[in-house]
Structure 1
Amino acid sequence: MRTPRSHSVLRYLAIVLAGLVMATPLLFMVSGSLKSAAEINAFPPPLLPETPIWQNFVEAWNYLTPRVILNTFVFSLGIVGLQLVLSLPAAFALAKIPFKWAAAVVATLVVPLFIPGNLTLIPLFVVTFQLGWLNTYAGLIIPMAAQCAFAILMFREFFAGLPVGLIEAARIDGASWGRVLTAIGLPLAKPALATFCSISFLTAWNMYIWPQVIAPNPANRVINVALAPLAGGENSMISPSVGLAGAVIAMLPVLIVFIVFQKWYLKGIVGTGLE
């Protein structure tokens, strides 16, 4: 018969093995970014580089260019910021302001979650083209930021769980609904905000199809579009090690965002409400 100690050992062993499996591609990417082209093409490839080649990161940075990095930050942060502006007031209204058709509005917001994004790509492109937004930040950001049904539903669930007494006390004191949102709702929504910002930033940072379709001009290129030719082997003059170094550079902002928001992100994941 297994003891509680043996159960704990097996549990931690399973966690460690699962972690190693998930971390293997990441470790290969970081290791490969410091290898020479010969080490990358060797079979079997060495686990670690014989001599780390930091020049790969310099070449990757020069290939990506600061403009590409800037475009990606503007694109990602623009989507996150605009979605927050659109979704927070709407979610609070659906959760706390009583009106006749609230249930119908919530049901309508559920529908876009079941529609694959590829089905709306062509009509969305046509509308953006008719507005004259090709190769512009507006064309990159606004159509994606407008797809905020998930954000509204997520924040609505959080606001619906706020104590009714807090809202009623603020209203009795003469606070407007906007004041209630900014003074009570938002300060208590740190876990939900951190969770959403992390997910939304990661999603926007990893987008490829929409930026490729709507902004093919090199001046408006984002980092995933810039890295794609390296993965396809179109630039034979560039070492795979440089491509891996570029992937590491692309990964760092997302990693930093997760580290910064980790405390509130984990609270949001496990479903804790108020601090």
Structure 2
Amino acid sequence: MTTTLARSGLGRVNPIRQTTIVLVAVVMSIPFLYMISASLMSAEDLAASPLRWLPSSLQPDNYSEAWGYLTTRTVLNTVFFAVAIVVGQLALTLTAGFALAHLPVPGSRTMLAVLLVPNLVPAELTLIPVFVVTYKLGLLGSYAGMILPIMCQTAFGTLLFRQFFSELPPGLIDAAKIDGAGWTRILVSIAVPLAKPAIATYASITFLGAWNQYIWPQLVANDEAHRVLNVALAPLAVSKYSLSSPAVGMAASVISIIPVAIVFVLAQRWFVKGIVGSGID
């Protein structure tokens, strides 16, 4: 195997390519690394000129103050908000994508064409109509009003899983039918396990998008009981509205990034596999 790779050139390390990758990674990491460093600085260090890259003395109290400002309730609200959207979208997109790929659904081609439209329309254009519908349903100031409109944005996911399930080997589906399996059993026992790379990719992207939501939670449920992290962080970004040191805002930003980093690390293997190929061996 090693000999084959060497002959084909796939096993060789290109120094220029590796150096370029490392340099790009370092440059892209600078803002993140500075944020971590600034989160441990004093207000004087942050205001110093020229710019200080490292704190003159560590200020770990910034994190305790940031946590006290964000509150445990805000963090739990954000986790619940993001996880509910991911679970809900996966339930809708997996079943819809599988149905459009394999079930004899009347008008399926028309449905596919209709699903393309939301992907071409900026979310800002639908903000007011969606808000009006949410208001008419009496969902303002509630978790349902925050979650359901985002959870139902399933056009991209449905098209993604429809394409993935369309490429499943037909023999697997036929063999399951011969064994007496129904469509639900085929979906749960065959299609979903094979779709793990696509599911991990879509789930991580959806989680990141839900975690970074600001406008919709701010618009629908801007109260202490339903506040999410981005809504809580916004005042810290504007010094004239903030009573805390800018370093506390940096610490709060680091706290808000930790769950997203954990999700990405856990899903990285499947994420890469989902991008490189279909995941079917």
**Which category describes the TM-score, using the shorter chain as reference length?**
over 0.9
Residues in 2 aligned to 1:19 and 1:264: alpha-carbon distance in whole angstroms = 21
Q: Give the partner amino acid of 1:62.
A: G
Residues in 1 aligned to 2:193 and 2:206: alpha-carbon distance in whole angstroms = 20
Match of 2:260 among 254, 260, 264: 254
Q: Is the Cα–Cα contact under 8 Å of residues 39 and 62 in structure 2 kept in the other structure?
A: yes
Match of 1:78 among 60, 63, 84: 84
Alignment match, 1:48? 54
Which runs of 5 or more structure 1 residues have no equivalent in the other structure? none
Q: Deviations over 1:64-123 (max 9, x none)?
A: 000100110111011101111111111001111133411111111011000000000001
Q: TM-score, normalised by structure 1?
A: 0.95
Q: Let me know the Cα RMSD of the aligned residues.
A: 1.3
Match of 2:149 among 143, 155, 173: 143
Alignment match, 2:5? none
Which runs of 5 or more structure 2 residues have no equivalent in the other structure? 1-8
Count of residues paired in the alignment = 270
Q: Is the Cα–Cα contact under 8 Å of residues 33 and 243 in structure 1 kept in the other structure?
A: yes
Matches within 5 A, 1:75-154: 75-154=81-160
Matches within 5 A, 1:1-275: 8-275=14-281
Report the CA distance between 1:261 and its aligned residue: 0.8
Q: Is the Cα–Cα contact under 8 Å of residues 60 and 242 in structure 1 kept in the other structure?
A: yes
Q: Give the partner amino acid of 2:228.
A: V
Q: Deviations over 1:130-167 (max 9, x none)?
A: 11111100000000000111110111111111110010
Residues in 2 aligned to 1:52 and 1:22: alpha-carbon distance in whole angstroms = 24
- Greater shift, 190-199 or 47-56, is seen at 47-56
Residues in 2 aligned to 1:43 and 1:20: alpha-carbon distance in whole angstroms = 24
Q: Is the Cα–Cα contact under 8 Å of residues 31 and 48 in structure 1 kept in the other structure?
A: yes
4+ residue runs over 3 A deviation: none
Report the CA distance between 1:267 and its aligned residue: 0.4
Q: TM-score, normalised by structure 2?
A: 0.93
Residues in 1 aligned to 2:50 and 2:250: alpha-carbon distance in whole angstroms = 18
Q: Is the Cα–Cα contact under 8 Å of residues 235 and 242 in structure 2 kept in the other structure?
A: no
Report the CA distance between 1:62 and its aligned residue: 0.3
Q: Closer, same or farther in 2 for the Cα pair 1:226/1:149, shift >3 Å?
A: same
Q: Is the Cα–Cα contact under 8 Å of residues 198 and 278 in structure 2 kept in the other structure?
A: no
Q: Helix, strand or coil for the counterpart of 1:220?
A: coil
Q: Deviations over 1:142-201 (max 9, x none)?
A: 000001111101111111111100101111111110110001011111100100110000
